[in-house]
Chain A
Amino acid sequence: MIDSVQNSIGMLSVRGELNIYRAHELMQEFSAAIAECPSGTAIAIDLSMVTEFDTAGLQILLMMRRMVLAGGERLELLDPSDCVRDVLILCGADDLIATPANTGLQS
């Protein structure tokens, strides 16, 4: 569920595992959250508390990016924990990671 909306950015967060074991649950939750957001809302996911991350988790983030992009908006990953960051960098998907330069958020 959307935690909050700041500056037209819907905020989500994940705690614990973002992997195959929770893939169905998280995908449903994220899809619902995106659907719930008014159009013109970007999505930001706080990944600082993710403890496990695998291919299933990566695929979910890639699908989310597609869904958000399809609405003409952007997806930002906030402060990914090391396990997430390592994979994103390995796979060249680290452009999803929000930096002070590219985020609309004042963090």
Chain B
Amino acid sequence: MNVDAALPTFVAESRELLREMETDLLACEHGEADPEVINAIFRAAHTIKGSSGLFGLEAIVEFTHVVEGVLDHIRDRTLDLNRELTALLLECRDHIQLLIDSVAAGGDGRAPLLDVAGASLLERLSVMSGGMVLSPAEVAQSEPPVPAARSSCAKASDAWRAATDCWHISVRFAADVLRNGMDPLSFIRYLTTLGSITGLQLVEEALPPVERFDPEACYLGYEIAFRSGADRQRIEAAFEFVREDCELHILPPGSPVSEYAALIRVLPEEDILLGELLVACGTLTRRELDHGIQAQESLAASQQFQLPAPADVLEHGWHVQPAAVAARADTRSEDSVSKEAKPLHGSLRVDGEKLDQLIDLIGELVTAGRQPAWRHGRPVSRS
């Protein structure tokens, strides 16, 4: 998967951002709460959150989202960055580092100890911010979520968790496993020693047309609903011998609906088919699926929302008043000039900036949804 290939870049960039965040926070601790420094810290958290969301790393999104909220209040000067809060933010930074380390080690930032440590930090943030940001427990209580002007799509759907009490295991095996002497079925059977498979859907979409079918290659995958008291590590260990030869995704019981949606996006098969498989094996209800898909669609829509570059507009013959084009070209070039002139993160690679823009676009989408005129009113002027 391309997404997996991009993961090392994500890890490297996040670590770089965290290093800068540490330097900046230490500077603040020594009394230099410069607005630009605070802005840089905020942007680092924002970028890590956004990129994590694109990789479906909900544990990091959830944690960083709250940290970002606190930083936003500091930026707005509605919250004072005192020594105590700086120290706590440094602890939060360290925690994000642990989450990223867990991703680097093949995990997804979810582990019992990490979860507990993260929850405790968020609780303290909530207290120290005087309730300006909500602790996870409070977020859970505040359903249905009311999307505030600033909240991202991710937050709105995070609050909705699937009702299932089963783990969801999604696994695709590499073509060579059979030739390597392993039978995927034996791993599935082994699972039943750790709990019970309550729903299993065979994914046979990868089977090729008969003339290209190689009887010794493996084409099958499985979507499995699994009821078990075992923890993630033990479930993962069931696939230990085939770990290098499979794509394995494990979601704990009652994960946010957005995580299932992210899984559907990441898997190679058609989204619609996968959605049906997740419903068929009992992991999602139809309503949960629909909700997840809606969130997905708004993400997809945000990608289409990118304004065409002025050159494209001219080439494709939109009837636009030259002044309007010029004005827009100005805004764009101003944007890019200011970005070049004072890069927010000196070491950030291009990919990261693109991700960042995308995240901003998602935010804009929320606002844009309320102001349709923004889209329709401006550019076209025929005479």
B308 within 8 A of A: no
Contact yes or no, B185 A20, CB < 8 A: no
Q: Which residues of A contact B197 (CB under 8 A)?
A: 90
Q: Which of A64-104 touch B at CB < 8 Å?
A: 66-67, 87, 90-93
A32 within 8 A of B: no
Q: Which residues of B contact A8 (CB under 8 A)?
A: none
Q: A23-B178, A54-B185, A92-B201 given. 15 additional CB < 8 A pairs?
A: A23-B215, A24-B215, A24-B216, A26-B215, A27-B213, A31-B210, A55-B184, A55-B218, A56-B178, A56-B218, A59-B218, A59-B220, A60-B215, A62-B207, A92-B200
Contact yes or no, B216 A55, CB < 8 A: no
Number of interface residues of B (CB under 8 A): 21
A63 within 8 A of B: yes
Interface-centre pick from B210, B213, B215, B220 (highest chain A CB count, 10 A): B215
Q: Which of B164-219 touch A at CB < 8 Å?
A: 178-179, 183-185, 188-189, 197, 200-202, 204, 207, 210, 213, 215-216, 218-219
Q: Which residues of B contact A58 (CB under 8 A)?
A: 185, 220
Nearest chain B residue, comparing its CB with the CB of A53: B185
Chain A interface helix/strand/loop/mixed = helix
With A63-B210, A66-B210, A92-B201: A55-B220 Cβ-Cβ less than 8 Å: yes
A49 nearest CB across to chain B (Å) = 20
Nearest chain B residue, comparing its CB with the CB of A26: B215
In the assembled complex, the Cα of A55 lies from the Cα of B183 at a distance in Å of 6
Contact yes or no, B185 A55, CB < 8 A: yes
Interface-centre pick from A20, A26, A27, A62 (highest chain B CB count, 10 A): A20
In the assembled complex, the Cα of A27 lies from the Cα of B215 at a distance in Å of 7
In the assembled complex, the Cα of A93 lies from the Cα of B201 at a distance in Å of 9
A residues neighboring B (CB under 8 Å)? 20, 23-24, 26-27, 31, 54-56, 58-60, 62-63, 66-67, 87, 90-93
In the assembled complex, the Cα of A30 lies from the Cα of B302 at a distance in Å of 50
Q: Which residues of B contact A87 (CB under 8 A)?
A: 185
Contact yes or no, A62 B204, CB < 8 A: yes
Q: Which of B280-307 touch A at CB < 8 Å?
A: none
Residue interface bits B53-70, CB-to-A below 8 A is 1, else 0: 000000000000000000
With A90-B185, A90-B200, A92-B201: A56-B210 Cβ-Cβ less than 8 Å: no
In the assembled complex, the Cα of A92 lies from the Cα of B202 at a distance in Å of 7
Q: Which of B26-73 touch A at CB < 8 Å?
A: none
In the assembled complex, the Cα of A93 lies from the Cα of B197 at a distance in Å of 15
Q: Which of A56, A90, A92, A93 contacts B215 (CB 8 A)?
A: A56
With A92-B200, A93-B202: A20-B210 Cβ-Cβ less than 8 Å: no
Nearest chain A residue, comparing its CB with the CB of B199: A92
Q: List 10 A-B contacts (CB under 8 A).
A: A20-B178, A20-B179, A23-B216, A31-B210, A56-B215, A56-B218, A67-B210, A90-B189, A91-B222, A92-B201
B17 nearest CB across to chain A (Å) = 43
Contact yes or no, B210 A90, CB < 8 A: no
In the assembled complex, the Cα of A67 lies from the Cα of B207 at a distance in Å of 12
